[in-house]
Amino acid sequence: MPLPCIDEGHGPAILFLHGWTMRGAVFAGQVTRLRDRFRCLAPDLPGHGAARDLPPDLTGMARAVEELVAARKVSEVTLVGWSMGAAVGWRWLAGKRAPVRAMLSVEMGPLLANGPGWNLGLRGPLADPAALEADWPTAARAIARAMFAEGAPAELVARAEGWVRDNDPAAMGAAWADLLALDARDDLARLGVPLQAAHGGRSRIYPPATARWVARAAGGGVHRFAGSGHSPHLEEPDAFARLVADMAQAPADSGAAGAG
């Protein structure tokens, strides 16, 4: 089954991969801002949105993205991966050739759990997948609130909560369990494309040092969205669109750093 996908605009292609519990529509504002200059693709990843019937594991997501790009006859893309979407992008790219010219990795760490030798995982306790399924409405409310900086507009949080709640809790629990098993630290050195790691200066999900670690591991740069939490494409959409456009228009071998 091909992934449901927003596919609008003309020009160099940009592929947006959404985070856990979200869907391609979370990038609708970016598509509106960029489609006059770029072809923008934003699929629903397996287990999410209109792709809810597909198995929600990272390897299957990466395979589905690869098949989508081939089926849509996209010869080269700038890849924008937000949160889980970045992990999907890393798994697609690591150690293999893919039609990706550059990657923007947004608010994602290679290992979620903190422990001996690693303190750049998620802030706060890690949710148990079974607990998520047991009370999905409460979990959805907490997930939506954590997506944004303190004081985010209520309508933005409510829209995000609606997207979260619309998913199947069992599928989201399975996807979360797969994310908890992730350790992409070795993969980042094998991406083979220029990378920038973006983070929200007011994120409640990751510390700023996580993005700096990702950038160093991949040999790339760092970009900070000072007014954002975990979702800079929604909280600072104009600035986010400018960064994506700059990356999509830069020479393919460019890895210029943003503001750290």
- How far CA 77 is from CA of 3, 31, 115, 192, 248, in Å, comes to 17, 14, 36, 14, 8
* 57-64: average pLDDT: 96
Q: Percent of the chain having pLDDT more than 90?
A: 91
DSSP per-residue letters across 199-233: EETT-SSS-HHHHHHHHHHHT-EEEEETT-SS-HH
Asked if residues 77 and 41 have their Cβ atoms less than 8 Å apart, the reply is yes
- Rounded CA-CA distance 98/76 in Å is 8
Whether 257 shows a pLDDT value over 50: the answer reads no
Give the model's pLDDT for residue 119: 96
* 83-111: average pLDDT: 95
Give the model's pLDDT for residue 96: 84
pLDDT digits (tens, 9 = 90+) for 219-228: 999 999 999 9
- At residue 52's C-alpha, the angle toward residues 133 and 49, to 5°, is 95
Domains of the chain: 5-249 (3.40.50.1820)
Give the model's pLDDT for residue 259: 40
Q: Percent of the chain having pLDDT more than 70?
A: 97
Give the model's pLDDT for residue 124: 86
